[in-house]
């Protein structure tokens, strides 16, 4: 809205600057030290509302109110916040908007990877300066976390569990003592009021570095659920698939709502362990089966239909993709998938072609 | 209209279960020191007030129709019920207690009439939701929460809330129901006023009325008694008996269908019984329970959880953290995001299951009457001495006796113990029981009365409750119990539960064990004219699950572990044949896929070949080919021996008739090295030892002679076609799975 048009993706605080300003004006509740808005106003910003002066606050996160309330209350108690969830549950999205609303700045970001080094969490050195002038505060390169401490703002750590354990543990001192010593200079950076950390982590990913219990204890954990109703999820998938299709310049394939609904249904049923009519329980496979994966199955199917099929999304186009997404572990997931096909899909009316295609694909 | 003498009469409006109301009532009674207390409840129970001292809540007042005990009404009391506190106060201070609601004689009689007409009896509570209106006015979307915040969570020391409640209710009634009440509610209030008038006439100095908040305005004014008397004239009536029975928190919870129920009796009990700092104590208890389950929860977790609760309450504008805040803190802090674990421990605490107790001298409960009536009708007298009872199930009276004994067993009153070996045999007409009535069974019956007022209803409720958290084998056993105890409704629910549980269970062996009794029940159910389709559906579904997972489950198993599985496979095969149709075909397909796989233990592979052969799925040539593969030097001798044992177990006749098979075994055996022969000898001995002497002799003769007579006239029996008939005959006769 207010960002310059050349920027590909403006930050939350830029894109929603007007809403934040309107909320700040209307907000007369007490604000915790260092906060730009009161906790109440932050929840309003995230969940959407209409202010008394008529300003429309768009909802940023669609989901249960209590989740956002617990997250905001956590940050207000100066405990760190850990957002957990399978991929595609808007963890990063929520953390960006919380940082934008509370600190007015969502840019102090550490992206967690297997190669994240301690410098990214604590501080590094400008080696040219270090060699030329010796250790000095000018030669120090602060990490986003250090900056946030010094300025009393929010730091975000993405994919915390991907960071190697020893680097993760550098956060313990920061979170418990709220200080970051720099022994080389004999100084320390003490966190200003308003400092806090929002971390996100994926709880079903393989090969993650589990948090040590000492670190875990410093976080309050909020689990972001997958979309609650099938209609919500179909809606999200349809919209995302259309977007992706445009980005990838796929030939136009009439998006078949039937197939999308079918894929979403299969994903939801296997994920929740129960059929949508609530009558039959099914086993869950080891994969995550997130909304994001459903999107990729459909996108793949569309590519198949466009390039090799008759230009219409058919069960055969999604069957291979869906079997692949469900069966991550060939032995145990294979049983789950076959059992699901035989006990649920087979019985369903109008699913004959889908059943046949999936059987075909899984043999 | 003459207003009430407010010095003599005090009306305390409450919600029926709530710690705040209970506390406030207690405090108000201590202050007022009334010499008479009127309580909303059936007047027939006035005589039962003397028992209050010996009761341990939760208990319920039970009023039931003497002639038809299944028609009954309950008034449950927990320790945090205001009415209970009023009862206790009166008992401790010698005040007189009168129950002032409409007599149960009328409500129970009216209930049947209304059921026949419109079923309007339950409507008023729904039609008028006074709390909802007040809560809405206060900006709450959930009336329960509003009441919690304003009344229930108050601690001692606040001003009495009752004048404010009375005013608010007067306003709500003026708004919602400007017309005077009619029908059932009007009659109730008329009766309350009549009891109040009687108490005033009796000259009590100070009278306290404890009733639902809604009724307060109606009791603050006393119109002419004639109008009320007219309202109460000519009501239908029946003979009613009342008693106290033990109750549970589970049945107090709104989730159990009790209409004045509360969502979380455990939380209310906690709020009422803890002296101070309820949130801190609650979370400490949660942490303790989590630690008991082996989860590391430190004191600092608890500290942070309390802080989160307080911040959340502040964010939501509530005066004190409530149950929802503690639930969220439990999940976010104590369980570090493990929601399932959090919900488990939280739900357990919120319900806070506990069972009340009544002293043995309370009047008999309808369940006891119902039981006595049945005992009389079936001429089964309870006696303290052992007595054997042989029942012939073809006779109606004996069948009913059997059903009664089975039901009592399920209810936890093991009056009759089935003599060994008879309880599971559905095929025979004979059942033998050992009867002995122990004194504690009387108490057990009283305890069981919380499940229902007749033996049938109580048993059904008990079975449903047990089914809720039973595992798979226990559920199949319950299905059988339902059939034996003739509980068709409970059976339907148990079967539904079974279907869900079967889906969750990943253990194929457990599924295989659960299946045979179920398959037998399918047949038995159809004999008993129970609609067996649902049962059959579940059995077929379970069989399909077994088929889908069988190969994976047995691959890589060692031979020793395969022994019990082979027995399960046999039993499942019998079950599959009993089920017949598609289910049987699917099962044989699964066996066919399993049989030739090399990772499958030899015994199972052999067994699968045998079952396939007997079902006519495997022709003689293929079978010979397979045996020849198994008996060739590439296969370890142990595996071959195990294969043969699986294949030939329980009958050697096959080898007598098919000389090619015997030849193959013979060649393999003679070709073994000395050492290998010694290794497999015990196995072979066991295999051949299982045959009958005649079979062994025939085999020996054949080996000596070097082959069977190849007489074309001597066709072997087509065991494949006979198998279904034999299995069916075996099931009808109640013989073990295979013969």
Q: What is the pLDDT of residues B129-142, one digit of tens each?
A: 566 667 777 766 66
For chain B, list residues whose CB is within 8 angstroms of any CB belonging to chain A.
296, 298, 300-301, 304, 307-308, 311-312, 315-316, 324, 328, 331-333, 335-337, 339, 499-501, 503-504, 506, 541, 544-545, 547-549, 552
CA distances from B10 to B28, B34, B100, B449 (A): 10, 9, 14, 36
- Read off the pLDDT of residues B627-649 as tens digits, 9 standing for 90 and up: 777 776 677 777 888 888 888 87
Residues of B in contact with A77 (CB under 8 A): 304, 307-308, 311
Chain A residue with Cα closest to B339: A223
Residue A343: DSSP 8-state: I
Nearest Cα to Cα of residue B283 among B261, B265, B260, B301: B301
Minimal Cα distance from B496: which residue of A?
A279
Distance (Å, rounded) from C-alpha B104 to C-alpha B73?
A: 8
Give the per-residue pLDDT at A100. Answer: 94
Q: B324 and B142 in contact (C-beta within 8 Å)?
A: no
Of A220, A282, A334, the CB nearest to B332: A220
Across the interface, whether the CB atoms of B339 and A217 are under 8 A apart is answered no
**Does A338 sit within 8 Å of B331, measured CB to CB?**
no
Which is nearest to B492 in space by CA: B534, B432, B444, B431? B534
Residue A310's pLDDT band, with cuts at 50, 70 and 90, is confident
Q: What pLDDT was estimated at residue A253?
A: 67
Residues 6+ apart with CB under 8 A from A170: A118, A121, A122
* Residue B526, both tokens: 């159809």
Residue B241 pLDDT more than 80?
Answer: yes
- Rounded to a whole number, what is the distance in Å from the CA of A275 to chain B's nearest CA? 11
Question: Cα A137 vs. chain centroid, distance in angstroms?
Answer: 36
What pLDDT is stored for residue B121 in this prediction?
37
Report, as an integer, the average pLDDT of A43-58.
87
Between the alpha carbon of residue B293 and those of residues B289, B290, B331, B358, B470, the distances in Å are 7, 5, 15, 33, 20
Distance from the Cα of B537 to chain A's closest Cα (Å) equals 11
The Cα B92–Cα A63 span in angstroms is 53
At a CB cut-off of 8 Å and minimum separation 6, what does B726 contact? B739
Per-residue pLDDT, averaged over B534-540, amounts to 81
- Most confidently modeled of A23-27, A327-331, B524-528? A23-27
Given an 8 Å threshold on Cβ–Cβ distance, is B316 in contact with A79? no
Q: Does A1 have pLDDT greater than 50?
A: no
Closest CA to B509 of B443, B596, B572, B433: B572
Nearest to B503 among A72, A73, A282 (CB): A282
The beta strand positions in B425-584, using DSSP E, are 430-435
Contacts of B612 (CB under 8 A, 6+ apart): B588, B591, B592, B595, B618
Give residue A68's pLDDT.
Answer: 92
Distance CA B202, CA B503 (A): 66
Q: Closest Cα partner for B105 from B181, B191, B182, B225? A: B191
Answer whether residue B664 shows pLDDT above 80: no
Q: Between B531 and B110, where is the model more confident?
A: B110
- Which helix (H) or strand (E) is B391 found in, with range? strand B387-392
Identity of the residue in A43, A203, A342 whose CB atom sits nearest the CB atom of B548 = A342
pLDDT digits (tens, 9 = 90+) for B47-56: 888 888 888 8
**Residue A49: phi, psi to the nearest 5?**
-170, 170
- What pLDDT, on a 0 to 100 scale, did the predictor assign at position A97? 92
Nearest of B438, B455, B443 to residue B358 by alpha carbon? B443
Question: CA of A224: which chain B residue's CA is closest?
Answer: B337
Name the H helices within chain A: 12-15, 17-26, 39-47, 65-76, 91-103, 118-121, 127-133, 144-151, 165-168, 170-177, 213-216, 230-247, 257-272, 291-307, 315-326, 332-340, 352-362
pLDDT, residue B126, reads 35
A335 → chain B, closest CA residue: B549
Mean pLDDT of the B14-27 span: 82
CB B423 within 8 A of CB B417: no
Token pair of A21 as six digits: 């300003």
- The alpha carbon of residue A307 is apart from the nearest alpha carbon of chain B, in Å, by 35
Give the residue among B84, B97, B96, B17 at the shortest CA–CA distance from B56: B84
* Measured distance CA(B302)–CA(B315) in Å, rounded: 20
Residues of B in contact with A76 (CB under 8 A): 311, 315
Instruction: Identify the burial level of B219 via C-beta atoms within 10 angstroms of its C-beta, where 0-12 means exposed, 13-18 middle and 19 or more buried.
Output: buried
Looking at the DSSP assignment, which residues form a beta bridge with residue A220? Answer: A81
Domain ranges of chain B: 9-43+62-240, 274-351, 366-459, 473-733
CB B485 within 8 A of CB B459: yes
User: Domain A12-223 sits in which CATH superfamily?
Assistant: P-loop containing nucleotide triphosphate hydrolases (3.40.50.300)
User: How far apart, in Å, do the first and last CA atoms of chain A sit?
Assistant: 52
CATH node for B473-733: 1.25.40
Residue in A70, A216, A273 nearest the CB of B312: A70
Nearest to B316 among A69, A76, A221 (CB): A69
What's the CA gap between B103 and B65, in Å, rounded? 12
**pLDDT grade for B124, boundaries at 50, 70 and 90:** very low
User: Which of the two residues, B648 and B206, has the higher pLDDT score?
Assistant: B206
B370-429: pLDDT as tens digits = 888 888 888 887 776 677 888 887 788 888 888 888 898 888 888 888 776 544 444 557
Q: Report d(CA A27, CA A32) in Å as an integer.
A: 13
Closest CA to A202 of A169, A165, A161: A161
- Which stretches of chain A sit within 8 Å of chain B by CB? 39-40, 43, 66, 69-70, 72-74, 76-77, 79, 82, 84, 203, 213, 216-217, 219-223, 273, 280-283, 331-332, 334-335, 338-339, 342-343
Chain B residues touching residue A220 (CB < 8 angstroms): 304, 308, 332-333
Measured CA to CA in angstroms, residue B382 lies from B387, B390, B416, B440, B441 at distances of: 10, 16, 10, 13, 10
How far apart CA A128 and CA B701 sit, in angstroms, is: 100
Higher pLDDT, B107 or A96: A96
> Using CB atoms, which residue from A203, A331, A338 is nearest to B548?
A338
Q: pLDDT by residue (tens digit) across A105-133? A: 999 999 988 888 999 999 999 999 999 98
Q: What is the distance between the alpha carbons of residues B13 and B171, in angstroms, rounded to a whole number?
A: 14
For residue range B77-117, what is the model confidence (pLDDT) as tens digits? 889 888 899 999 998 988 889 998 888 888 888 766 554 43
- Residues A12-18 have a mean pLDDT of 88
* CB within 8 Å of A43: residues ≥ 6 apart: A65, A68, A69, A72, B315
Which chain A residues contact residue B506 at CB under 8 A?
283
Q: What are phi and psi of A250, to 5 degrees?
A: -75, 145
Pick from B307, B315, B337: CB nearest A84: B337
Window from B159-168, B179-188, B243-252 with minimum mean pLDDT: B179-188
Q: Which chain B residues contact residue A342 at CB under 8 A? A: 544, 547-548
CB contact under 8 A, B324 and A281: no
Residue B252: its H or E element: helix B249-252
- For residues B77 and B16, what is the distance between their CA atoms, to the nearest angstrom? 9
Across the A:B interface, residue pairs with CB atoms under 8 Å apart total 88
pLDDT band at B128 (very low <50, low <70, confident <90, very high): very low
How much of chain B is helix, strand and coil, in % rounded to 5? 60, 10, 30
> What is the rounded distance in angstroms from the CA atom of residue A199 to the CA atom of residue B242?
61
Listed in sequence order, the residues at least 6 apart from B529 whose beta carbon sits closer than 8 Å to its beta carbon are: none
Residue B1: pLDDT band (50, 70, 90) is: very low
**C-alpha span between B524 and B516 (Å, rounded):** 12
At A3, the pLDDT band (50, 70, 90 cuts) reads: very low
pLDDT at A292 over 80: no
Q: What span, in angstroms and rounded, lies between the C-alpha atoms of B381 and B402?
A: 14
Q: Where are the alpha helices (DSSP H) in B528-651?
A: 533-554, 559-579, 581-594, 602-614, 620-630, 637-648
Q: Which of B336, B540, B551, B597 to mutate to test the interface with A (most CBs of A within 10 A)?
A: B336
Counting residues of chain B whose pLDDT is more than 70, the rounded percentage is 86
> Which tens digits make up the pLDDT trace of A147-165?
999 999 999 999 998 899 8
In this prediction, residues A219-248 reach a mean pLDDT of 76
pLDDT, one tens digit per residue, over B21-54 is: 888 888 889 988 998 999 988 888 888 888 888 8
The predicted model gives B260-270 an average pLDDT of: 81
Extract the tokens encoding B239: 């003979």
pLDDT tens for residues B466-509?
888 788 878 888 888 888 888 888 888 888 888 777 777 778 88
Alpha helices, DSSP H, located in B2-71? 19-32
Under an 8 A CB cutoff, do B544 and A217 touch?
A: no
Could you read off the pLDDT of B665-689 as tens digits, one per residue?
787 777 777 777 887 788 788 788 8
Among A77, A216, A339, whose Cβ lies nearest the Cβ of B311?
A77
Q: Which of A74, A282, A342 sits opposite B308 (nearest CB)?
A: A74
The continuous run of DSSP H or E covering B527 comes out as helix B508-527
Distance CA B170, CA A114 (A): 68
Say yes or no for a CB contact (<8 Å) between B336 and A74. no
Q: Which of A74, A217, A332 sits opposite B301 (nearest CB)?
A: A217
* A contacts of B544 (beta carbons < 8 Å): 339, 342-343
Determine what percent of chain A falls in helix, strand and coil, rounding each to the nearest 5.
50, 15, 40
Integer angstrom CA distances of residue B508 from A265, B505, B573: 27, 8, 14
- Per the listing, tokens 């195990």 go with B642
Task: Print burial letters for B16-51: b (CB count within 10 Å at least 16), e (below 16).
Answer: bbbbbbbbbbbebbeebebbbbbbbbbbbbbebbeb
**Residue written as tokens 């993760």?**
A168
Roughly how many angstroms between the first and final C-alpha of chain B, as a whole number?
88
Q: pTM for the complete prediction?
A: 0.66
Which secondary structure element, helix H or strand E, spans residue A142, and what is its range? Answer: strand A140-142
pLDDT interval class at B188 (50, 70, 90): confident
Taking the C-alpha atoms of residue A76 and residue A58, their distance in angstroms, rounded to an integer, is 23
Mean pLDDT over the full length of chain B: 80
Using the predicted structure, report yes or no on whether residue B338 has a pLDDT greater than 60.
yes
Chain-wide mean pLDDT for chain A?
85
């Amino acid at each position: 809205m207010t960002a310059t048009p050349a920027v590909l993706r403006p930050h939350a605080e830029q894109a929603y600057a007007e809403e934040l300003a309107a909320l700040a004006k209307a907000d007369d509740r007490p604000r915790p030290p260092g906060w730009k808005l009161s906790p109440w106003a932050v929840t309003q910003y995230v969940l959407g509302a209409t202010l008394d002066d008529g300003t429309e606050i768009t909802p940023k996160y669609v989901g249960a109110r209590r989740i956002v309330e617990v997250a905001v209350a956590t940050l207000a108690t100066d405990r760190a916040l850990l957002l957990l969830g399978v991929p595609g549950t808007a963890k990063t999205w929520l953390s960006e908007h919380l940082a934008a609303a509370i600190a007015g700045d969502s840019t102090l970001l550490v992206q967690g990877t297997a190669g994240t080094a301690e410098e990214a969490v604590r501080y590094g050195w400008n080696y040219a300066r270090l060699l030329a002038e010796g250790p000095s505060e000018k030669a120090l390169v602060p990490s986003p976390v250090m900056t946030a401490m010094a300025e009393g703002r929010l730091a975000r750590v993405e994919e915390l569990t991907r960071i190697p354990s020893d680097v993760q543990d550098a956060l313990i001192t920061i979170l418990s003592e709220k200080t970051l010593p720099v022994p080389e200079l004999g100084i320390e950076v003490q966190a200003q009021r308003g400092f806090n950390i929002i971390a996100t982590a994926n709880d079903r990913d393989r090969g993650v570095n589990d948090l040590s219990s000492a670190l875990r204890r410093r976080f309050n954990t909020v689990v972001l659920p997958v979309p609650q109703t099938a209609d919500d999820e179909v809606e999200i998938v349809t919209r995302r698939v259309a977007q992706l299709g445009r980005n990838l310049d796929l030939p136009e394939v009439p998006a078949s709502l039937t197939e999308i609904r079918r894929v979403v249904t299969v994903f939801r049923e296997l994920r929740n362990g129960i059929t949508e009519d609530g009558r039959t329980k099914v086993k869950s496979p080891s994969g995550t089966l997130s909304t994001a994966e459903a999107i990729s199955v459909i996108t793949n199917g569309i590519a198949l239909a466009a390039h090799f099929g008759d230009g219409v999304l058919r069960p055969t186009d999604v069957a291979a993709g869906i079997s692949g997404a469900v069966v991550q572990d060939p032995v145990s997931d294979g049983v789950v998938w076959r059992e699901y096909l035989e006990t649920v899909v087979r019985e369903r009316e109008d699913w004959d072609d889908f059943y046949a295609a999936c059987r075909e694909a899984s043999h | 209209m003459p207003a009430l003498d407010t010095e003599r009469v005090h009306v305390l409006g409450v919600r029926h279960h709530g710690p705040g109301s209970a506390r406030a009532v207690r405090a108000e009674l201590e202050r007022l020191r009334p010499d008479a207390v009127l309580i909303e409840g059936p007047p027939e129970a006035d005589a039962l007030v003397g028992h209050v001292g010996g009761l341990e809540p939760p208990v319920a007042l039970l009023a039931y129709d003497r002639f038809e005990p299944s028609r009954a009404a309950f008034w449950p009391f927990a320790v945090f019920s205001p009415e209970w506190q009023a009862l206790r106060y009166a008992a401790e201070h010698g005040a007189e207690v009168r129950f002032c609601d409409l007599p149960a004689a009328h409500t129970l009689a009216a209930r049947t009439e209304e059921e026949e007409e419109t079923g309007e009896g339950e409507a008023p509570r729904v039609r008028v939701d006074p709390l909802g209106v007040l809560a809405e006015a206060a900006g709450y979307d959930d009336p329960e929460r509003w009441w919690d915040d304003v009344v229930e969570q108050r601690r001692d020391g606040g001003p009495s809330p009752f004048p404010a409640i009375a005013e608010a209710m007067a306003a709500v009634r003026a708004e919602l129901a400007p017309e005077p009440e009619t029908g059932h509610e009007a009659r109730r209030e008329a009766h309350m006023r009549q009891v109040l008038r009687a108490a005033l006439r009796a000259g009590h100095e100070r009278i306290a009325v404890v009733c639902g908040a809604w009724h307060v305005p109606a009791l603050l004014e006393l119109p002419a008694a004639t109008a009320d008397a007219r309202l109460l004239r000519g009501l239908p009536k029946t003979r009613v008996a009342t008693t106290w029975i033990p109750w549970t928190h589970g049945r107090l919870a709104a989730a159990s269908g009790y209409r004045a129920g509360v969502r979380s009796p455990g939380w209310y009990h906690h709020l009422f019984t803890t002296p101070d700092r309820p949130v801190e104590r609650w979370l400490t208890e949660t942490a303790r329970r989590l630690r008991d389950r082996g989860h590391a929860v430190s004191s600092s977790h608890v500290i942070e959880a309390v802080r989160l609760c307080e911040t959340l309450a502040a964010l939501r504008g509530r005066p004190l953290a409530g149950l929802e805040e503690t639930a969220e803190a439990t999940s976010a802090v104590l369980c570090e995001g493990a929601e399932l674990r959090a919900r488990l421990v939280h739900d357990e605490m919120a319900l806070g299951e506990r069972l009340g107790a009544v002293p043995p001298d309370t009047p008999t409960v309808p369940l006891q009457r119902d039981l006595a009536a049945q005992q009389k009708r079936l001429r089964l007298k309870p006696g303290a001495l052992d007595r054997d009872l042989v029942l012939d199930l073809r006779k109606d009276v004996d069948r009913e006796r059997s059903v009664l004994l089975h039901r009592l067993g399920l209810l936890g009153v093991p009056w009759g113990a089935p003599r060994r070996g008879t309880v599971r045999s559905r095929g025979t007409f004979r059942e033998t029981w050992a009867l002995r009535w122990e004194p504690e069974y009387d108490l057990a019956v009283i305890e069981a009365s919380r499940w229902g007022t007749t033996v049938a209803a109580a048993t059904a409720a008990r079975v449903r409750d047990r089914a809720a958290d039973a595992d798979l084998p226990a559920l199949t056993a319950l299905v059988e119990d339902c059939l034996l105890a003739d509980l068709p409704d409970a059976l339907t629910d148990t079967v539904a539960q079974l279907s869900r549980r079967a889906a969750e269970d990943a253990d194929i062996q457990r599924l295989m064990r659960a299946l045979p009794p179920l398959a037998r029940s399918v047949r038995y159910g159809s004999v008993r004219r129970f609609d067996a389709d649902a049962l059959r559906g579940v059995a077929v579904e379970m069989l399909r699950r077994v088929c889908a997972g069988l190969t994976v489950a047995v691959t890589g198993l060692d031979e020793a572990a395969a022994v019990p599985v082979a027995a399960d496979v046999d039993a499942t095969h019998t079950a599959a044949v009993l089920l017949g149709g598609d289910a049987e075909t699917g099962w044989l397909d699964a066996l066919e896929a399993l049989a030739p796989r090399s990772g499958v233990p030899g015994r199972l592979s052999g067994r699968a070949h045998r079952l396939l052969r007997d079902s006519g799925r495997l022709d003689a040539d293929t079978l010979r080919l397979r045996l020849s593969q198994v008996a060739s030097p590439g296969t370890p001798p142990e595996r071959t021996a195990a294969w043969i044992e699986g294949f030939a177990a329980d009958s050697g006749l096959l080898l007598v008739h098919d000389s090619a098979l015997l030849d193959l075994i013979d060649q393999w055996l003679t070709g073994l090295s000395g050492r290998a022969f010694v290794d497999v000898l015990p196995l072979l001995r066991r295999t051949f030892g299982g045959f009958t002497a005649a079979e062994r002799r025939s085999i020996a003769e054949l080996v000596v002679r070097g082959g069977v007579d190849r007489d074309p006239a001597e066709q072997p029996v087509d065991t494949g076609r006979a198998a279904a008939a034999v299995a069916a005959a075996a099931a009808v006769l109640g013989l073990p799975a295979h013969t």
